[in-house]
Amino acid sequence: MLSQVQEAPGAGLDAFFQARGIAVIGASDDVTKIGGRPVQLLLKYGYAGAIYPINPKAGTLQGLQAYASVVDTPTAPDLAIVAVPAQATLQAVRDCAQRGVRGVVVLSTGFAEAGPEGAELQAELVRTARHHGMRLMGPNCLGVVSVPDRIVGTFSIALEQSIPPAGEVGIVSQSGNIGSFTLRNMADRGLGVSRFIATGNEADVDVADGIAALAEDPGTRIILCCMETCRHAGRLTAALEQARRRNKPVIVLKIGATEQGQAAAASHTGALTGSDAVFDAVLRRHGALRVRSFEELLDIGHAAALLAAQRLPSTDAVTLVAASGGFGIMMADAMVEAGMTLPQLSETTKALIREAVPTAGTNNPVDASAQMSARPDILLKMLTALQDDASGSTLVLMLALSLSNPRLRGVYLEALAKIRASHPDRLLVIISQGPADAVAEINALGIPVFRSIPAAATGLAGLVKLGRLASLPAAQPWRGEAGTIDPLVFRNEFHAKKALAAAGIDVPREEVVESVEAAVRAARETGYPVVLKIASEDIAHKTEVGGVALDLRDDTAVREAFARIMASARQHAPQARIDGVLVAPMVRGGVELIAGISRDPVFGSVVMVGFGGIHAEILKDVAVQVAPVSEDEAQRMIRGLRMFPLLDGARGTPRADVAAAARTVALLSEFACRHAAQVAEIDMNPILVKPQGQGVLVLDALMVPAARNTPAP
């Protein structure tokens, strides 16, 4: 059982960040060794607390009194850094527990990553730490750095030359090398770092702990996170919500877009909801921005740190300014492709621009010509007009080579300082490649500088998303009770749809029959035209065995179709158990969607919605989210589909009943949560979304029992 400190993400990490006394177990005089570097770096960067090198030979190491064991130290250190061979690590951790150490960083390798024996040794480390209420980072990790406190519990070469300045960027990474690369690059960009955590094997302290601890850290304003996987869904989402409540933006570089969860599945849903898409959705729901590259992580992280959460863009509108029409066109293309909009400037703004720069083109993008940089007062007058424009857009200024020219550099820096002073809450972004000292001076004004047009477009789009994510309402967990379900629901679509109907989801009136005469009777009662479909728990995809007949308009057509379907099913699936043929009304009009649930190995029940028919498999235009979802969330999922215009009255077609579709998705997600123990997958395909106000009908459904799938997380 987990001890109390593991139940709340982030608990106990002050032992790593604010340690009063540090022991280095496996310490060495050789600073090229893993045990030598932490001692060297603690001394080099001025850690003020006691440093206790631990080595069986004792004596002195790097000028410090050494001790044979941590139990021999004159006072109990808060933190121990362990750099001994794997087989010696367990005794070291036991000694730490005996001495009252509160946090242990295990740099050593040879644990779960090395095979079963290593995994068992790692498990014993955790049992020891948790029994004594001690937090353990690693093993096989790059450790921790707390810049303000000069705590260096790592051997990373990122600190070999210098330690970053103290600042407001917190970094948590599962990969040590990726994390230290991020640390070094942030420092090289002139940004200060608060805390750095590299969690390695995550036997105890994990990424969720890091995010939660940084969320509560008063010195951290923005959190950069590098992840490969999530080991505990609830802890991660709780930590992300903690950061959102504290108004600390979280930017996540998630690597490893696996096919886990996309293995052969009986339903379309199971094939379309891969774990990477689910991870995307989870981050979005809980206010974190996912990025796809180091460049995005660094660019957006840098800009967000300069702007702070309170100054993130509230709109996707941008006003573009360049001294060249060509650059303006390039900027416009990149911004539009990134999802930004270019509003027209007001006539008042245009007149003020022409007053400042008579030769300027006043459309958006603004072709300000070289005249804009003739004097600081001219540039300031033009920038003021643009910042005062009613559109409230972000102003993006292309400087190209200007900062490399001493005269122009002076013009721009003077004008930028004055415009920031007069418009402190308006957003202004620069595109320039340097020089570095000029960029640093602009950054110091709180103005982000992007090195290229594509980087500026991607970065601004990310900042807009980050601002919007922060304003989304917190997700509500499922609080209902588990229910039981009749195993008949797995037998055929008729019983599956009956269960869905009982949950409030609209399905057609239909009947399963076993004879041709019963089929004719049912068709007459339903009213022509009708549809016939094979009913069998062993035939998931009915069309593949010739098991569907559409638009049957009379008794003769029903008789012929019944015989043809039964014969084809027996030919193509001779072992299948056949319950008969389902008779349903032939429904026309509307747009086809697909919706369903599947089970993610980490996050549990997942709901999906997308366009049905061939669109589901070919275009994969789907949206996913962990169940349950509210009707508002379901609306956002549907409206976010690339083909949503087909539901929204494209080319004069009637608008579809999106509200009813969202209600159906929300009800399905609740059904999934209620029956998670029994139902692994549900496939509702197609769902006919009728014109606005007329509702939806689920025309086909399949349920897959949990016994055929991985157990629930």
**Could you report the per-residue pLDDT of 472-513, keeping only the tens digit for each?**
888 888 888 888 999 999 988 999 999 999 999 999 999 999
Given this structure, which CATH class describes domain 591-708?
alpha beta
> CATH 3.30.470.20 spans which residues of the chain?
591-708
Whole-number Å distance between alpha carbons of 416 and 349: 19
Other CB atoms within 10 A of residue 277 CB: 21
Domain 510-585 CATH (choose: 1.10.8.60, 3.30.1490.20, 3.20.20.140, 1.10.10.60)? 3.30.1490.20
Residue 712 has pLDDT above 60, yes or no: no
Inter-CA distances, 235 with 9, 182, 232, 645, Å: 6, 24, 6, 37
pLDDT per position as a tens digit, 362-387: 999 999 988 888 888 999 999 999 99
Q: From residue 373, give the alpha-carbon distance in Å to each of 330, 369, 598.
A: 21, 9, 59
Where do the CATH 3.30.1490.20 domains begin and end in the chain? 510-585
pLDDT band, very low/low/confident/very high, at 7 (cuts 50, 70, 90): low
Neighbours of 193 (CB within 10 A): 27
Query: Tokens 């930017």 belong to which residue?
Result: 251
**How far is the C-alpha of 297 from the C-alpha of 312, rounded, in Å?**
16
Q: Let me know: does 155 contact 39? Beta carbons within 8 Å.
A: no
Cα–Cα separations (whole angstroms), residue 23 to 46, 52, 70, 88 = 15, 4, 7, 16
Share of the chain above pLDDT 90, in %: 79
pLDDT at 474: 81
Q: Which residue has the tokens 């007069």?
A: 422
**Fold designation for 4-256:** Rossmann fold (3.40.50)
Considering the segment(s) 307-471 as one domain, its CATH architecture is: 3-Layer(aba) Sandwich (3.40)
Positive or negative: CA dihedral 301, 306, 312, 313: negative
Token pair for 252:
């996540």
Interatomic CA distance for residues 685 and 682, integer angstroms: 10
Mean pLDDT in residue range 48-64: 94
Band of the pLDDT at 256, cuts 50, 70, 90? confident
Q: CA 671 to CA 665: how far, in whole Å?
A: 10
Distance of CA 528 to the CA centre of its chain: 49
Q: What is the rounded average pLDDT of the residues 391-406?
A: 92
pLDDT over 70 (residue 288) = yes
Residue 547 has pLDDT above 70, yes or no: yes
Q: Give the DSSP H or E segment for 233.
A: helix 233-245
Using CA atoms, how far apart are residues 124 and 623, in angstroms rounded to an integer? 42
Which helix (H) or strand (E) is 531 found in, with range? strand 530-536
Predicted confidence (pLDDT) at residue 57 exceeds the cutoff of 60: yes
5 vs 392 pLDDT, higher one: 392
The pLDDT assigned to 5 comes to 41
Model confidence pLDDT, tens digit, residues 417-426: 999 999 999 9
Who has greater pLDDT, 626 or 710? Answer: 626
Residue 620: per-residue pLDDT:
77
Angle made by CA atoms 341, 347, 353, in degrees to the nearest 5: 85
Of residues 567 and 613, the one with the higher pLDDT is: 567
* CA-based torsion, 57, 59, 60, 66: positive or negative: positive
pLDDT at 261 over 80: no
- In this prediction the pTM is 0.89
What is the spatial distance between Cα 301 and Cα 362, in angstroms, rounded to a whole number?
A: 32
Lowest average pLDDT, out of 265-274, 314-323, 432-441, 686-695, goes to 265-274
The encoded tokens of residue 298 equal 């660094």
Closest to 602 (Cα-Cα) out of 282, 287, 291, 174:
282
Q: Considering only 147-156, 223-232, 252-261, 699-708, which range has the smallest mean pLDDT?
A: 252-261
Q: Which of 353, 360, 291 is nearest to 322 (CA)?
A: 360
Q: DSSP 3-state assignment of 230? A: coil
Report d(CA 609, CA 597) in Å as an integer: 9
Predicted pLDDT of residue 309: 72
- Taking the C-alpha atoms of residue 514 and residue 214, their distance in angstroms, rounded to an integer, is 64
Query: Measured at the alpha carbon of residue 651, what is the angle toward residues 649 and 653, in degrees to the nearest 5?
Result: 45
Q: Where in the chain is the domain with CATH 3.40.50.720?
A: 4-256
Give the chain's mean pLDDT.
91
- pLDDT at residue 532 above 80? yes
Taking the CA of residue 263 as centre, how many other CA atoms within 13 Å lie in the half-sphere pointing to its CB?
8
Confidence of residue 614 (pLDDT cuts 50, 70, 90): low
